[in-house]
Amino acid sequence: MTAPPRRMIDTGTATVLAEVVDGVGVITLHRPQRRNALHPEMYEAVPRLLEDFAADDAIGCVLFTGAGTAFCAGGDVRDGGSAKAVPPGDRDVQVSARSAVLAGNAAMVTLLHTIPKVTIAALPGAAVGAGMSIALSTDLRIGGRSARLIPGWAKLAFSGDFGGAWFLTRLVGPAKALELLLADAPIDADTALRLGLFNRVVDDADLRAAALRWAVEIAAGPSLAFAGMKANVLDAQHLSLEHALPRESERMVRSGMTDEHRDAVRSWLAAAAAKAGARA
């Protein structure tokens, strides 16, 4: 079997690797020696890659993962996080400045959640704190048996960042989300699957191949229709049915005017004719 087409991308930093494989944009956090803890260079590289992938018609799906045996250990507390990027000042000035830096660093989760491409997180191991938030910000998640979701904030007396509570609340509901955040206990792969936090769980050795195979299948599908489906699901989380229906209807009409739709109809008609002929 021949390997799928692969194109490496210069990310400008050794902390993030990127490639395009058979229509899938793959982003890998690459600090395995620090369990892929977040690094300042990631805050620029990852959003830029996501914006480029979103604008590339040749890419139908985005796969986000971590190198080695972890997904992402969250903020690198040893490096001081974003604190050193903020000038000194009074408390309110410090809060405002540091909050702005932290929110800016979290741009990647907004893009993973909203770009018009299906995004998948593949978790080879633990996703902690902001790393858990990144995983939950994607549309779909596949984990190896060793994967864990760990809020991680409570043990450091933090309240949470990178949208962790926002995504968790929408996935499991407010009461369960708060319970998980307060408990701060690891959520193993089977539990994550049961709660709907993971969509699929596979053996660790099969994760890369299974995640890429899933992403390639999605990338090969009708990308404009899939973008509309993602938009419909996003609308469903904050719009009433009355306000969502016109937007859904417009997307339906627009999808019916695409080459993707016309090609799909021709294929469906041909398959139906062949099936009828076989029965005759």
What's the mean pLDDT when you consider all of the chain?
94
**Residues 176 and 90 both lie in one domain:** yes
**Residues 250 and 124 both lie in one domain:** no
Q: What is the dihedral of CA 151, 157, 161, 164, to 10 degrees?
A: 30
CATH assignment at residue 154: 3.90.226.10
The per-residue pLDDT for range 134-170, each reduced to its tens digit, is: 999 999 999 999 999 999 999 999 999 999 999 999 9
pLDDT of residue 91: 86
Residues 145 and 88 sit within 8 Å (Cβ to Cβ): no
pLDDT of residue 148: 98
**Is a pLDDT exceeding 60 seen at residue 30?**
yes
**Is a pLDDT exceeding 90 seen at residue 243?**
yes
**Residues 201 and 231 both lie in one domain:** no
Q: Which domain holds residue 50?
A: 6-219
Domain end, chosen from 219, 244, 265, is at 219
Predicted TM-score (pTM) of the model is 0.93
Q: Which residues contact 218 (CB under 8 A, 6 or more apart)?
A: 60, 61, 118, 120, 226
**Is a pLDDT exceeding 50 seen at residue 64?**
yes
Weakest mean pLDDT among 85-89, 189-193, 264-268: 85-89
Rounded Cα distance, 30 and 51, in Å: 19
The per-residue pLDDT for range 71-103, each reduced to its tens digit, is: 999 998 766 554 555 567 788 889 999 999 999
**Residues 160 and 26 both lie in one domain:** yes
pLDDT of residue 278: 84
Burial degree of 143 (CB within 10 A; 0-12, 13-18, 19+): buried
Rounded Cα distance, 114 and 95, in Å: 27
Residues 105 and 81 sit within 8 Å (Cβ to Cβ): no
Rounded Cα distance, 269 and 266, in Å: 5
Q: Is residue 62 part of a domain?
A: yes
Q: Is residue 111 part of a domain?
A: yes
Q: Is residue 1 part of a domain?
A: no
* The total number of structural domains that make up the chain: 2
Rounded Cα distance, 201 and 191, in Å: 10
**Residues 151 and 131 both lie in one domain:** yes
**Is a pLDDT exceeding 50 seen at residue 206?**
yes
**Is a pLDDT exceeding 70 seen at residue 2?**
no
pLDDT of residue 176: 98
Rounded Cα distance, 6 and 204, in Å: 23
Please give the order of strands across the beta sheet that includes 140-144: 6-9, 16-21, 24-29, 61-66, 118-123, 140-144, 200-202
Enclosing H/E stretch for 211: helix 207-219
Q: Is residue 17 part of a domain?
A: yes
pLDDT tier, 5 (very low <50, low <70, confident <90, very high otherwise): confident
Burial degree of 165 (CB within 10 A; 0-12, 13-18, 19+): buried
Beta strands in 99-207 (DSSP E): 118-123, 126-128, 140-144, 148-150, 187-188, 200-202
The alpha carbon of 71 is separated from its chain's Cα centroid by a whole number of angstroms, namely 12
pLDDT of residue 82: 47
Q: Is residue 70 part of a domain?
A: yes
**Residues 47 and 161 both lie in one domain:** yes
**Residues 157 and 262 both lie in one domain:** no
Structure tokens at 33: 């020696």
